[in-house]
Structure 1
């Protein structure tokens, strides 16, 4: 693509050495990924500044650079913009010919449940015979191909490249997780969202964004900036989310787990052996796209456990109905859906129960422990991977959430781990994070042992497990490899166990295998 055509959409402040046109064969924001005839975009990141690597990009083949500050001694075209991250999004969308415009893209944001909601939607769409893509924190999917994800929402260049692949393969529907970081860092600025949803909001990323208000500003921008003619699905059980009803150009559809004034709500929710069934009520007739969604009432049974699964299911149902999916396909998809790895996932269900859960923040913890309280069991063995690089606030709140359940779940001991060797540098636990977790747990009178590695922590816990107990593998990145370690341990101590059946729950995992 010609450089002149590529940069038309940019708000250019100034240029240097830009005299004739150039053919651009690709774009890169990492200098080492630059190839011959590439455009390099220098981004000022949190850790380093891409402007430092302009010479390296030229050595690798860059023929032009987009910058926020001019660099002296550079003899190729420099195009100066006020925000190179924003420019990267515009350039990427243009380079790949606006691929997201050619498929139905559904953007799902929430503090909790984005992953499960998008996977539920994917299952529903597949049952309705649509070809699907999937973009999120666990994996990215193009048709039948799965690729591990590096970020919850990819950088804008990688995102539009992914949409380009999807367009070539005829993908029709793309449920997509939209993180607060992606919104704040302009990664999704030029994605053509047809449906957006906001399911819940709590305090997980305060340290990352600087304040609760900035986190809300980032998160809510998905709804506030939704295009005219699109559909915004809002959970009116959340008071802050309700305030967005009048702050978007999109057509608003409301949903609720209990509020009969919502456009779509649930009733008669039951939890049987940890799994929910309920009735969905479509409270009014409305038009969405070329579909007329009529007043209705129908039963849904979930194939996965947990109260949090109900909250995720209602948004998936509301999106699917708005997108014209028949209720029979919604029922079939949700009953057949067996969950997402590490989201209250049963990985061993025999003489005792082992559950693997992301356990990310206080809301996630509360719904997981509430579900556990409804499951008959003798003792609970809680193995917790302390959250690394999430700050003191999150770790203190998580510890307090566990403490609040100590009497109801008879929690007398917790085994903690820093997951050394199982996480990369970005998820290492700091001394401050370990201390605030330890102080909060022990001050509540709960015994706590913290081990450096997952292997040590898991072995200590499993040696105490008896019949009808529950083992909870709890934690985010630090517990990703926990299930594999647990199953390896069980295979070593149970010589008569069927190996294929034992490892079946993690056979299709993308991470933590």
Structure 2
């Protein structure tokens, strides 16, 4: 493809017409992956600055360079200086793959919690109606029915446009993270539907303040098509703030609430391990549905998916019939029954998510709740104390443990856990460094009717080796429960 075509829409003080219109093989922002004839985009990242690799890229065969820094010496290939390399990368990628988002119905979901469940539920509902759907999210990417490992909640703009180009599906459902929005990963993409689930304490190590965090989330709705719909949960102060903001900009907003003035009113008739719910719109048209996995937060997630389905024209009776068939999401409130105990594995890693999980266990009749969780090194430290306080208040016992802490930082994290435990915890908690042994202890201490809630990793694999040699929380639980069953078989024999 010709360089001039790829550069369309690029913001630069240079006269781009004066640049030689050379052939470009592909685009890369990683000098190690670059091949002859590529366009190299130098990005200033958090740990690496791509501008320091420009000469390495040229040696590897780069045909042209895009960067945001002024160079002191001329290069042997064309250099296009831009204002923002990340924004430029998104524009270049869209041009290179010929605006691939335009061939799909684009749905973006943002919020602190609930993105994944809402995305999977929506995919299920649409596929029951006959749509073909791609899904891009934290658990996995699914393109043309094929599962592809996800490396981030939202791919970088180059990978995103490549996947959109590969997809032959009618609909693309995306989880859109706040990092993705501030780093222009979804720039240049217009969305037909944008969903806001909620906003809670997370990523303040990156965004610094709640206002900054909210602004990042809200920026997704700047990319809503003029004909598009915003679906917003207003039973959250930040959702209510977004609602007013969008109405002031004359956006088409479908709001959801249990008690506020909203386009859709949510009423929960009953809730235990399954929920019976009614959604009522402004025309007094009722959508009754049954959700066969627990939690008020999941009722909200499901409701937002259903609201999107109705906005797409799917009949209420079809949505109601499809909802009970949804089997949930890997690592999102996955339940395993063992000797009268219920073991839950969930990705919850915020105070709000903890509250959702532990309250759900109570609503489902848990006699006692054992909560196993930890903290990752290098992540938002400001939320840790509140997370322990929430667990101490709602769980019968909590067990603090390690969660993917690199070897040099283990000792420091152990000290951190002990300090947090004494400062924010209570007598009903303890620290067990090895994650697999912490899970084992909780399962062994629990009795018939008790729940063991293991949070923080969900579907993710361990990145360090633990004593039991297992590879994930699910693997640990299945290994422990299967081992116990084998012991019982031995006794019977």
TM-score under structure 2 length normalisation: 0.90
| Distance apart, 1:30 and its partner CA | 1.0
Take 1:478 and 1:106, find their aligned partners in 2: how far apart are those partners?
A: 23
Take 2:210 and 2:270, find their aligned partners in 1: how far apart are those partners?
A: 34
Deviates more, 1:148-157 or 1:203-212: 203-212
| Distance apart, 1:55 and its partner CA | 1.9
Report if aligned partners of 2:403, 2:435 keep a CA contact under 8 Å in 1.
Answer: yes
| Counterpart for residue 133 of structure 1 | 134
Secondary structure of 1:183 counterpart: helix
Report if aligned partners of 1:346, 1:354 keep a CA contact under 8 Å in 2.
Answer: yes
Take 2:415 and 2:251, find their aligned partners in 1: how far apart are those partners?
A: 43
| Counterpart for residue 429 of structure 2 | 447
Take 2:459 and 2:418, find their aligned partners in 1: how far apart are those partners?
A: 17
Structure 1 residues 340 and 215 mapped into 2: Cα distance closer, same or farther (>3 Å)?
same
Indicate whether 1:397 and 2:386 are aligned.
Answer: yes
Residues 196-207 of structure 1: pairs in structure 2 closer than 5 A: 196-207=194-205
Residues 14-29 of structure 1: pairs in structure 2 closer than 5 A: 14=14, 19-29=19-29
| Counterpart for residue 297 of structure 2 | 308
| Counterpart for residue 51 of structure 2 | 51
Residues 95-134 of structure 1: pairs in structure 2 closer than 5 A: 95-134=96-135
Take 1:476 and 1:439, find their aligned partners in 2: how far apart are those partners?
A: 24
| Counterpart for residue 279 of structure 1 | 278
Residues 341-380 of structure 1: pairs in structure 2 closer than 5 A: 341-348=330-337, 350-380=339-369
| Counterpart for residue 8 of structure 1 | 8
Encode CA deviations 1:389-411: one digit per residue, 9 max, x unaligned: 22321212211221232xxx4x2
| Distance apart, 1:478 and its partner CA | 9.9
Report if aligned partners of 2:330, 2:459 keep a CA contact under 8 Å in 1.
Answer: no
1:483 to 458, 474, 481: 474
Residues 190-269 of structure 1: pairs in structure 2 closer than 5 A: 190-242=188-240, 243-259=244-260, 261-269=261-269
| Distance apart, 1:425 and its partner CA | 9.9
Residues 61-76 of structure 1: pairs in structure 2 closer than 5 A: 61-71=61-71, 72=73, 74-76=75-77
| Distance apart, 1:431 and its partner CA | 6.0
- Unpaired runs of 5+ residues, structure 2, are 462-471
| Counterpart for residue 511 of structure 1 | none
| Counterpart for residue 468 of structure 1 | 449
Structure 1 residues 256 and 18 mapped into 2: Cα distance closer, same or farther (>3 Å)?
same
Secondary structure of 2:56 counterpart: helix
Take 2:338 and 2:201, find their aligned partners in 1: how far apart are those partners?
A: 33
Residues 376-387 of structure 1: pairs in structure 2 closer than 5 A: 376-387=365-376
| Counterpart for residue 437 of structure 1 | 420
| Counterpart for residue 173 of structure 1 | 171
2:400 to 409, 416, 432: 416
Deviates more, 1:212-221 or 1:241-250: 241-250
Take 1:230 and 1:89, find their aligned partners in 2: how far apart are those partners?
A: 22
Please report the RMSD computed on the Cα atoms of aligned residues, expressed in angstroms.
2.6
| Counterpart for residue 501 of structure 1 | none
Report if aligned partners of 1:43, 1:84 keep a CA contact under 8 Å in 2.
Answer: yes
Structure 1 residues 54 and 430 mapped into 2: Cα distance closer, same or farther (>3 Å)?
farther
| Distance apart, 1:122 and its partner CA | 0.3
| Distance apart, 1:241 and its partner CA | 2.4
Secondary structure of 1:335 counterpart: helix
Secondary structure of 1:495 counterpart: helix
| Counterpart for residue 465 of structure 2 | none
1:459 to 417, 440, 462: 440
Deviates more, 1:115-124 or 1:206-215: 206-215
Take 1:426 and 1:27, find their aligned partners in 2: how far apart are those partners?
A: 37
Structure 1 residues 104 and 349 mapped into 2: Cα distance closer, same or farther (>3 Å)?
farther
Indicate whether 1:334 and 2:326 are aligned.
Answer: no
Report if aligned partners of 1:270, 1:276 keep a CA contact under 8 Å in 2.
Answer: yes
Secondary structure of 2:267 counterpart: strand
| Counterpart for residue 32 of structure 1 | 32
Take 1:314 and 1:414, find their aligned partners in 2: how far apart are those partners?
A: 31
